[in-house]
């Protein structure tokens, strides 16, 4: 079979990439393992059907508010590019207030119909067990990539560049941290001495916090996640807390070498070590997002927000994302992919979707669109120009392909913390200002690139 490009994985990202390419005249072979046989090797533990673009859990694409919300803005940009997921989503839409929710079966049937009826697309029910040695390829096999292919990816990228579980610590918007309470300092003033933001705790505050971790409601692992390995470096904070009242004070909440300048006195002019400290470390190059070091957790989201806002200095914290621990296959993209989502050293292979380290149905679809557009540019000999970083797509792409800190790279939803900050706008009007700027810049980008909706 002759085709211009091979896409592996018929989930949200693979389907979007196939659609963008086919609509631009490129012939596509789309390989999806589900439906190839009844063997367990051709299934994932989460998918229930053989349908393309199956939504494995919630039926929501989250907020559809493109005036104030980063996901809603991503919807808007996807629609501008003729997104298949957004089109099928409209057909399958069910009432959900300002959110966009769909009937998952109608949605999947609609995506599959559009792709199978397209003259440029051949859908193959087949599992791919190794990265192709040559030929343009997009790998979009998602968080539950089949084992043999994952092994092949590890062989190409290196053992520690493909993760099989995420261990997400909460991420806080920098401008919501109270710097009248916290202070910048690295332990023992190492590095440039100011790499961390420190939140001090008294003994009573610490004891109450410790109890809160023990009492907080936790999410139970799904059956097939139950063997999630707790590596020492990514153990949930509440599991550590259960080992003893002071375990955290010898672990992520260690206060030694951290002098709180607000406790300075003539005897200790630099300040004193608090009883315990919560540290935050910069998470993106823009400096807008800071992660809570060592705070990966299975606490329910409501419990996390409530408890973490009891930490001095975080009383008004706005979370760009909350903590979690799931089975999830994803690359250390800032290290292994170039700015066009191509594997460094094997640039005939592009990655798309959640395997790149974005998170969620909408983000995975958006990265699928971008991979499709990049490949279409390449195949037609046109230089690729990324969407501006001030747009939702541009911000997400920049984060994945180099702006995130590789050392702490964990899956990320789209959020305004990924956008270049707007300092001269009051906090209340900021979300509208981000979306206004993004819409203008996105429109200029599509016009200059002569990008018609697919
Ligand atoms: C249990 C679970 C619950 C989730 N809940 C939500 C949620 O509620 N909301 C949300 O927004 N996101 C959720 N996610 C994340 C969501 O699944 C992903 O963001 C999204 O589906 C990723 O799209 P994708 O195209 O990258 O991967 P997928 O949609 O998973 O598609 C990947 C496709 O590749 C196929 N495949 C895998 N390996 C091979 C191979 N070797 N050869 C051929 N085909 C292969 C798979 O069968 C699958 O169809 C959840 C994820 C999981 C695992």
pLDDT per residue as tens digits for the range 96-147: 889 999 999 999 999 999 999 999 999 999 999 999 999 999 999 999 999 9
Residue 56: alpha-carbon gap to chain centroid: 17
Cβ of 10 closer than 6 Å to ligand 1, yes or no, is: yes
Alpha helices of 92-243 — where are they, by DSSP H?
Answer: 104-116, 147-157, 203-215, 237-242
Instruction: Report the nearest-CA residue for atom 24 of ligand 1.
Output: 142
For residue 137, the SS3 value is: strand
For residue 272, the SS3 value is: strand
Q: What is the pLDDT of residue 85?
A: 98
Q: What is the pLDDT of residue 354?
A: 97
Give every CB contact of residue 5 below 8 A, 6+ residues apart in sequence.
21, 26, 27, 28, 29, 135, 136, 137, 138, 375, 379
Q: Which ligand 1 atom is at minimum distance from the Cα of 53?
A: 29
Cβ of 353 closer than 6 Å to ligand 1, yes or no, is: yes
Q: What is the pLDDT of residue 231?
A: 63
Give yes or no for a contact between 124 and 309, defined as CB atoms under 8 angstroms apart. no
- 46 alpha carbon – ligand 1 mean position (Å): 8
The low-confidence residues of the chain, meaning pLDDT below 50, are: none
Give every CB contact of residue 194 below 8 A, 6+ residues apart in sequence.
184, 185, 186
Give yes or no for a contact between 175 and 235, defined as CB atoms under 8 angstroms apart. no
Q: What is the pLDDT of residue 164?
A: 87
Residue 189 region by backbone torsions, left for phi larger than 0, else alpha for psi between -120 and 50, else beta: left
Instruction: Determine the angle formed by the axes of helices 203-215 and 301-308, rounding to 10 degrees.
Output: 170
Cβ of 219 closer than 6 Å to ligand 1, yes or no, is: no
- 144 alpha carbon – ligand 1 mean position (Å): 6
- The residues with which 28 forms a beta bridge, in sequence order, are 5, 121
**pLDDT tens digits along 226-248:** 766 666 667 899 999 999 999 99
Two structure tokens written together for 37: 């046989």
Query: Cα separation of 10 and 151, whole Å?
Result: 20
- Nearest CA to 361 out of 86, 51, 20 is that of 86
Two structure tokens written together for 315: 């009383």
Cβ of 354 closer than 6 Å to ligand 1, yes or no, is: yes
Q: Which regions of 283-390 does DSSP assign to beta strands (E)?
A: 289-292, 319-321, 324-331, 342-343, 346-351
Two structure tokens written together for 348: 């005939």
Query: Cα separation of 150 and 85, whole Å?
Result: 26
Give yes or no for a contact between 241 and 249, defined as CB atoms under 8 angstroms apart. no
| pTM for this entry | 0.91
Query: Cα separation of 332 and 69, whole Å?
Result: 27
Instruction: Report the nearest-CA residue for atom 3 of ligand 1.
Output: 57
Cβ of 86 closer than 6 Å to ligand 1, yes or no, is: no
Query: Cα separation of 331 and 355, whole Å?
Result: 6
Give every CB contact of residue 110 below 8 A, 6+ residues apart in sequence.
87, 88, 91, 92
Q: How far is CA 399 from CA 267, 348, 412, in A?
A: 45, 22, 9
């Amino acid at each position: 079979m002759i085709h211009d490009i091979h896409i592996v994985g018929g989930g949200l990202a693979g389907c979007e990439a196939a659609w963008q390419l086919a609509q631009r005249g490129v012939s596509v072979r789309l390989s999806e393992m589900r439906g190839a046989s009844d063997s367990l090797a051709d299934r994932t533990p989460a998918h229930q059907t053989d349908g393309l673009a199956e939504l494995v859990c919630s039926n929501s694409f989250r907020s559809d508010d493109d005036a104030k919300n980063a996901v809603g803005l991503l919807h808007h940009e996807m629609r501008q590019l003729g997104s298949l997921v957004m089109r099928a989503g409209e057909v399958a839409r069910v009432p959900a207030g300002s959110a966009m929710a769909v009937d998952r079966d109608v949605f999947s049937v609609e995506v599959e119909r559009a792709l199978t009826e397209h003259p440029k697309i051949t859908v193959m029910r087949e599992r791919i067990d190794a990265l192709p040695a040559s030929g343009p390829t997009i790998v979009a096999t998602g968080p539950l990539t089949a084992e043999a292919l994952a092994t092949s990816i590890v062989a190409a990228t290196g053992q520690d560049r493909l993760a099989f579980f995420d261990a997400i610590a909460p991420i806080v918007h920098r401008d919501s941290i109270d710097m009248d309470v916290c202070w910048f300092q690295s332990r023992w003033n190492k590095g440039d001495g100011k790499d961390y933001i420190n939140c001090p705790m008294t003994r009573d505050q610490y004891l109450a916090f410790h109890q809160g971790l023990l009492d907080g409601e936790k999410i139970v692992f799904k059956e097939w996640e139950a063997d999630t390995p707790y590596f020492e470096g990514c153990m949930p904070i509440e599991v550590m807390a259960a080992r003893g009242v002071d375990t955290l004070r010898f672990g992520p909440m260690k206060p030694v070498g951290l002098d709180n300048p607000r406790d300075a006195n003539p005897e200790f002019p630099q300040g004193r070590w608090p009883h315990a400290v919560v540290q935050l470390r910069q998470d993106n190059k823009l400096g807008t997002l800071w992660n809570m070091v060592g705070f990966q957790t299975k606490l329910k989201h409501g419990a996390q927000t409530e408890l973490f806002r009891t930490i001095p200095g975080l009383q008004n914290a706005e979370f760009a994302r909350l903590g979690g621990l799931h089975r999830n296959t994803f690359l250390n993209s800032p290290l292994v992919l170039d700015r066009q989502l191509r594997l460094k050293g094997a640039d005939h292979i592009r990655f798309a979707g959640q395997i790149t380290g974005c998170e969620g149905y909408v983000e995975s679809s958006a990265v699928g669109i971008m991979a499709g557009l990049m490949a279409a540019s390449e195949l037609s000999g046109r230089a690729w120009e990324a969407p501006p970083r001030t747009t939702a797509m541009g911000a997400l792409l920049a984060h994945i392909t180099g702006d995130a800190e590789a050392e702490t790279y964990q899956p990320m939803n789209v959020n305004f913390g990924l956008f270049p900050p707007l300092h001269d706008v009051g906090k209340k009007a900021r979300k509208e200002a981000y979306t206004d700027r993004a819409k203008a810049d996105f429109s200029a980008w599509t016009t200059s690139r002569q990008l018609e909706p697919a």
